[in-house]
A = this chain, B = another copy of it.
Amino acid sequence: MNPLRAKFACYLPLDQSDQRLLDRLSDAPQRRIQARHDLIREGDPVRWLKLVVDGWGCRYKVMPDGRRQIVALLLPGDFCNPDALTVEAMDHAIAAVGDMTCALVEPDLFDTVTLASQALRRALAFDSCAMLGMQREWTVNLAARPARQRIGHVLCELYHRLDALGMVADRTFVAPLTQIDLAEATGLTPVHVNRVVQYWRSLDLLHWHGRTITLPDAPLLAQQCDFDPLYLHMPRFAGGVHGGARR
């Protein structure tokens, strides 16, 4: 199932012609990026609009001491550089987390698709509101929550976003994510992330073995981590945690 379709359908209903238009984006020429390699570097000029079709990516900035700080996780159906058409240089870099494949959409094709459907323009507007909302939520998460909640919150967000894509089954999803990646995303040390992961395991609110992550009781975890999916701006999660967290 095309993840872009799945996500956009969470914002508003799409008819068949809209869905075919979205498929034209995903069917653009693809490029495969190896785990931990860069798709776009900071300062790069941006030509094509890039769309994650498989695997995960991340936005990050490198600190003067060489550490890298992940500021967003990109899942299938997410645009890497929605500002491709306006801005001349990237203010951050994008890398693959695990192996990733992207579609390279020419600006002309993108314009054609958006001009063709009012509904898609609206869905795109929703999507960019959701991006902004996530970035704000990450800001408060990193600024104001202690490590346990900070990590739990990221896991809850991933759970919900993947659920919207139909990629959560039996409370479980596959994550090409190491504890080191999670440390870079939460501004914590890998060893502290490890301790926190064990804390959530000890409460039986997290199973994480290899690439497989299970949240046995997502609503409870969400409650303990102050997670409220409102900021994702998907009507299916509008009722709060208890609406969409279960399958």
Contact = CB atoms under 8 A, between A and B. Distances in A.
Interface of A: 43, 59, 61, 63-64, 67, 69, 71-72, 83, 85-87, 89, 91-92, 122, 125-126, 128-129, 131-133, 135-140, 142-145, 186-187, 226, 230-231, 233
A105 to B, nearest CB: 17
Given A142-B143, A143-B186, A226-B63, A136 B87 contact: no
Nearest to A85: B125
A85 B91 CA distance: 27
Contacts of A129: 83, 86-87
A157 to B, nearest CB: 13
Contact of A135 (B132, B144, B230): B132
A69 B135 contact: no
Nearest to A135: B135
A226 B89 CA distance: 19
Contacts of A142: 139, 142-143, 187
Contact of A67 (B64, B86, B144): B144
A134 to B, nearest CB: 9
A121 B85 CA distance: 12
A25 B85 CA distance: 25
B69 A143 contact: yes
Contacts of A85: 125
A132 B131 contact: yes
A230 B91 contact: yes
Contact of A140 (B43, B71, B122, B132): B71
A2 B133 CA distance: 29
Contacts of A187: 142-144
B122 A91 contact: no
B89 A230 contact: yes
A126 B61 contact: no
Given A71-B139, A122-B86, A138-B139, A144 B91 contact: no
Contacts of A231: 91-92
Contacts of A226: 63-64
